[in-house]
Amino acid sequence: MKSAFWILPLVLLAGCGAGGGADGSMPVTEGRTLYVSAEAAEGGDGSRQRPFNSLADLEESSAPGDTLMVLPAPLDVTPLEGGIALQEGQRLIGVGPDVVRRKSDAAVEGSSGLAALPRIANSNPLRQGGDAVRLAPGSEVRNLVIASASRGGIYGLNVPGAIIRGNDVSGYNTRCAIGFTVERFTAPTRLPYFGVPLILPAGWAGIMIDADESAGEVRILDNHVHHAACGNGIDLRIKGAADYRAEISGNFVNALERGPLWQTRELHLVHAITTQITDDARLEARSVNNTQTFIGGPGADCEGLFMNLADNAYARWAIDRNRFEHGIGGFSCNGMEAVISHGPAHGEMSISNSTFVDNPGDMLQQDNLGSGSTLILELDRVIVRDTTERPGSPDSQPLPFNLGECILAGSDGANNTTVLRVRDSEFSNCNNGLTILSGVSLLNGGLSDGLIDVEVINSSFRNNAYSNLVVGVIAPLRELRLRVENSDFRGAGDSALAFKKINLGRIETASIDFGGGTLGSRGGNCIAGGTRHDATTDGLDVLMRGNWWGRAGGPDAARLSERRGSLDTTAALGKAPTRCAVP
């Protein structure tokens, strides 16, 4: 699971998928090329001149390593029905121009608008579970249109070497089958040691790959997944002792809605792209140029990107050039959520050169709810703006999350390590800009949390409705480290900066360094313009030397509030640094 995987040419990976071996699949000899058409007459032999007229005939007549070609048919012709189960090393390819229109060389935009398409469907829930395509090891599905499916559009279990590329998938999971389920977790509250246990299900995804054994690689590239009334977009679930690498890039996921009532539970979760890693499994994933738009519906818990770990799992997910816009639903909608549900899992996520815009709830959530777990999030050149929840002060809410924050970094476990790194990024027009919270749930097996380590460099948290930065410690914490340098916190509806120990909040070691402290911050921050205060503290000591307070000579004392703690604002800058000149 090293970087060599990412630079291996796609053509070589495609060759390994068909030929087997390097990705864990068995070698398969390249076979025949067979054709199928929704317009063909009965009695075809699978040739281009006399194609099969059913997927069942194509499947029955094919062998491992064969290439299966779906010919395009006019849109008024019924799609090929019944779905198809691939064999090892087979390639299922839609003939003709790209069915997904590209807006650049690296990303897709939507459907092509062609008059004839290679379309298939599966309305029969008794036929391969209702999936339109069942993958096999080393198989490939390319340039195909999944018009509808009783359950999944494309699904595979233990399919190392599988490639899913350039497909248009919609109208799936018409029977609203449960698919991805968030691992059991304890939702934090503002009461120390008290949480609410939850298990949340979602609908079956348009593209889903599961693995519970062995090692392998999968690629999900340049697909358009859209217009489903009860399903996630792209799900990757790794469990057991499986060890996988994945590329999930260039995909466009949009117009996914929440599900209706399912027995006594409501499938209100709608996730565009999800990775889940449990048991002793490992995953190393890379995503470039994905887009998620218009995800959710009234009251939905919508997610653009979602990473869920539990047990002893390990995962790293590197995300670059992601675009999320228009989450639709309730206060639990997120542009991205990374959560460890339980156990001592280790998760790392990095996001770079990305935008997250227009969403009801917290735009980015980092939720470390395990026991002895580690969750690391790195943000580099990320723009976040425009959440719509406006509950005001976090202190007045029963839950310490889903308050319309630009980013929430929280831990509610036992002896966890939670690390956040923010560089060259912008966060604005949210309820709060950055909220850092620590609590402990007894259901997670401990009385004290471990380490929260946050670093903010060359970034902007401006013009948020309540505060630009909030630190809240609800229950005992071993160590808090917060280093902030050359960043902008001007303009806020209440206090630009707010630090508070709440309830049983105690910290053995606290280093809050906005300049001049032991963490090495050189200051240079812009801290001014809160409607009520520039900075407040209740129980925490904060070093804030060498900063700009909107005027020469340091802050106006009336705009500071100190209770059971101190704000060291000495050595204030005499003139605004360059960052503060930005309007």
Report CA Rg, the chain.
26
pTM of the model: 0.91
pLDDT at residue 368 greater than cutoff 90: yes
Please, what is the Cα angle at 562 between 495 and 439, to 5 degrees?
Answer: 75
pLDDT digits (tens, 9 = 90+) for 324-346: 999 998 888 999 999 998 999 99
Local confidence band at 410 (pLDDT 50, 70, 90 cut-offs): confident
pLDDT at residue 513 greater than cutoff 60: yes
What is the per-residue pLDDT for 443?
Answer: 59
Euclidean distance between CA atoms 84 and 405, whole angstroms: 45
pLDDT digits (tens, 9 = 90+) for 99-147: 998 665 556 777 778 899 999 999 999 999 999 999 999 999 999 999 9
Local confidence band at 14 (pLDDT 50, 70, 90 cut-offs): very low
How many alpha carbons fall within 13 Å on the CB side of residue 99?
Answer: 30
Local confidence band at 256 (pLDDT 50, 70, 90 cut-offs): very high
What is the per-residue pLDDT for 444?
Answer: 63
What is the per-residue pLDDT for 409?
Answer: 94
User: What's the chain's length in residues?
Assistant: 583
- What would the two tokens of residue 408 be? 């929430």
pLDDT at residue 4 greater than cutoff 80: no
For residues 396 and 189, is the Cβ–Cβ distance under 8 A? no
Least Cα distance to 149 among 129, 121, 178 occurs for 121
What is the per-residue pLDDT for 128?
Answer: 94
Local confidence band at 400 (pLDDT 50, 70, 90 cut-offs): low
pLDDT at residue 263 greater than cutoff 80: no
Euclidean distance between CA atoms 472 and 512, whole angstroms: 12
Phi, psi of 581 (to 5 degrees): -80, -10
What is the per-residue pLDDT for 112?
Answer: 78
6-9 long-range Cβ contacts below 8 angstroms, 24+ apart: 6/247, 6/286
Q: Average of pLDDT values for 517-521?
A: 96
Euclidean distance between CA atoms 339 and 199, whole angstroms: 13
Local confidence band at 505 (pLDDT 50, 70, 90 cut-offs): confident
The residues that bridge with 359 in the sheet, in sequence order, are 387
What is the per-residue pLDDT for 332?
Answer: 86
Euclidean distance between CA atoms 258 and 147, whole angstroms: 19
DSSP code at position 574: S
What is the per-residue pLDDT for 448?
Answer: 74
What is the per-residue pLDDT for 331?
Answer: 82
Q: Average of pLDDT values for 449-477?
A: 93
pLDDT digits (tens, 9 = 90+) for 59-108: 999 999 999 999 999 999 999 999 999 999 999 999 999 999 866 555 67
Local confidence band at 403 (pLDDT 50, 70, 90 cut-offs): confident
What is the per-residue pLDDT for 412?
Answer: 83
Local confidence band at 452 (pLDDT 50, 70, 90 cut-offs): very high
Mean of the per-residue pLDDT values for the chain? Answer: 88
- What would the two tokens of residue 474 be? 């609800």
Q: Average of pLDDT values for 452-472?
A: 95
Residue 52, C-beta contacts closer than 8 angstroms, at least 6 positions apart: 34, 35, 36, 37, 40, 44, 45, 46, 58, 61
What is the per-residue pLDDT for 364?
Answer: 97
